[in-house]
A = this chain, B = another copy of it.
Amino acid sequence: MSTRGNLFIVSAPSGAGKSSLISALLKDKPSDKQVSVSHTTRKPRPGEVDGQHYHFVTVEQFKALINQSAFIEWAEVFGNFYGTSKSVIEQTLNKGIDVFLDIDWQGGEQVKILMPNTVGVFILPPSKAELERRLTGRGQDSKEVIDARMAQAVSEMSHYTQYDFVIVNDDFDSALADLKAIIRSQRLTCASQQYAQNDMLNDLLAD
């Protein structure tokens, strides 16, 4: 039985709890799930391991990869490049591992064009009041800073309709169970099963 993993885009505004959900999902280091490891040109921070947290490359290497169309999505953020290598993703999926891309809606849009079978999951906070509470943090930021964060969050959330699934992160355990149900169900689509159960289906349907 040869299984192929699914590629998931997981997007959310700041304050929706996306990172905590992904961490909880991968806490026990499941053999069939992993977050995509991006390429970046920014310098490693203390404790970051090349190939585990990021693939660290030079600007010249990154630009060469862009020219080779090696990325399914890339972006420049605060002067550093970040990108997702198509071949790394494909190799991982072919091992039967589900891959999670923790990217924003713009990156998600690029990926969906190049890999249309990608499953998009958008995480929402339960209310605007709760989002504001989460983005206010420990009360050390000015009203202007918080307002700017809220505007950014509303802008990001306005793209939720481009996603296949929407999870409202009100109760964390329930949101995690939602995410797990989506992931499990995507192994059960007719197309996934035709691939994974090919030999069994041939046996079952033989005259």
Contact = CB atoms under 8 A, between A and B. Distances in A.
Interface stretch (A61-69, A135-143, A179-187): A179-187
Nearest to A207: B154
A126 B206 CA distance: 14
B204 A189 contact: no
A200 B154 contact: no
Interface string A111-123: 0000000000010
Interface in A52-105: none
Given A204-B154, A204-B157, A207-B154, A197 B184 contact: no
Interface string A177-207: 1101110111011100110010011011111
A124 interface: yes
Contact of A165 (B126, B164, B178, B185): B185
Interface of A: 122, 124-128, 131, 154, 157-158, 160-161, 163-168, 177-178, 180-182, 184-186, 188-190, 193-194, 197, 200-201, 203-207
Contacts of A186: 185
Nearest to A153: B204
A168 B128 contact: no
A166 B182 contact: no
Contact of A188 (B166, B197, B200, B205): B166
Nearest to A178: B188
A168 B193 contact: yes
B181 A167 contact: no
Nearest to A186: B185
A164 to B, nearest CB: 6
A131 B201 CA distance: 13
Contacts of A185: 165, 178, 181-182, 184-186
Report the 10 A-B pairs with minimum CB-CB distance, sorted nearest first: A181-B184, A185-B185, A166-B193, A181-B181, A165-B188, A182-B185, A181-B185, A128-B203, A166-B190, A128-B204
A184 B188 contact: no
Contact of A164 (B163, B189, B200): B189
